[in-house]
Structure 1
Amino acid sequence: MDHRNLPPAPAPNYHPEAILGNLTLEQKQHSVNILAFNIAHHAGSRVFGHDVAKGLKLTEAWVRPLTMGVRDDLIDASPSAPSEQLGINSKKALRGHTVCEILVEEGMMNVHGGLAGACAVLLLDIATFSSLFTLSLVAGVSAWGLSTAMNITWHAAARQGTQLRFVSTTLSHGGRVSAARCEVYDAKTAKLLISAVHTIAPLKTSSNSSVKPPGFSQSKL
């Protein structure tokens, strides 16, 4: 399945023009469509975790040059941008950066009144993948793959009613391994709640199918 053929994302991701970032409107639309695909957000869905993950909203999507902290200038991520600026066929590396938000609701809690660990892992999986696919839309390198590890640290509990802010940044993309990190904050207080690094073994695909996902029934995990 080609991501360009995915249906438009439903609520809460049906206004891509409201997403902050330097991607084109078309790229933002593709990003939310892919997010909805991974959550399996469609009528009658029985995919694991859909009932809680469907509330995850993409609020920011950026692509920036990776310059080891020296500079952090934005790039033009449009299809007409010079390939040298995007890092394509050059030595310039790029990173994807996304922000997603979701409200902690009753069905996401454990018996101790905090966000359940399994629920957090599911949301982290999707959030880290969002930054990788955002980068793939610009760089043209496949983000699809199989999870190999996720290293998670819980810093504080997230209680019911907390608005979670997932800030994800790519670490590596393509090659032998792809990876992204994510920090989860209380959006109201800026308190760090969870941090994680997710590593993925890329699927072997031909160069002309760099952004084509596997069949709908195949899990990314």
Structure 2
Amino acid sequence: YMGDGSISKQRNRSVLRLHVKDREFARRFSSTCSQILGKKPYSVRHIADRDKYETTVANTSFCKFLEQTFSQLDPYVRDHPSGFLRGLADSDGCPAITTTKKRGKPWFFVQIVVATSTSIPLLSYARTILGECFKLKATLVYKGKPRPRPYENGFFHSKKRVFDLRISRFEDIRRFSRVVGFGLSRKQVKLESAIAVRQSFGSGEKAVEEWTRNWEHGKTEWVRRKGAS
């Protein structure tokens, strides 16, 4: 089990299941699996009471392949490093845009969270691929412990620590956008918009003004304002 995906056994066969809030990601996952396996796109089901989207892939050999260790999968990853990193970023990453004050002045800062995870081996491996295949520098940033989540009649409190794998150097951010990028359009559009603001307006007050003119902070992330160019 990792993130929003899991592999389970059902009647002597293995089933890969994805359970997410993002419909675009669920559809992209379904399309990618169907292309790999030479099948028609797998159905994406909306679970109304949880407002989530679910798709399942029943293919034992495919599941066994995905259950291999990083060292076993490494040759395949290195044949398709951008695809590996893009899938990871689509699932557990995001553009991280900060508008705050530094020494009392407005500050515009762009980063890329390649992934957020409790798995240090996964993040360390992804950092290795970024460095060796694309010459991109990324760092592990401690975020704390996961928030308690509802479980049966109470809440589940995880003792695991959560880390971000972050790219902070602006030149590396631009390069990531070009050679890897996000497969999900809303994430890639946001990243490209932030890069354009940073390049044209720098990292000070004018950049903050330009960014907030077209984007506003929603409940969990930056969203484009209605009617924004």
Normalised by the shorter chain, which TM-score bucket? Answer: under 0.3
When normalised by structure 1's length, the TM-score is 0.25
Instruction: Give the number of the structure whose residues are more often helix, by fraction.
Output: 2
Higher relative contact order (CA 8 A, sep 6+): 1
TM-score, normalised with respect to structure 2: 0.25
Larger radius of gyration: 2
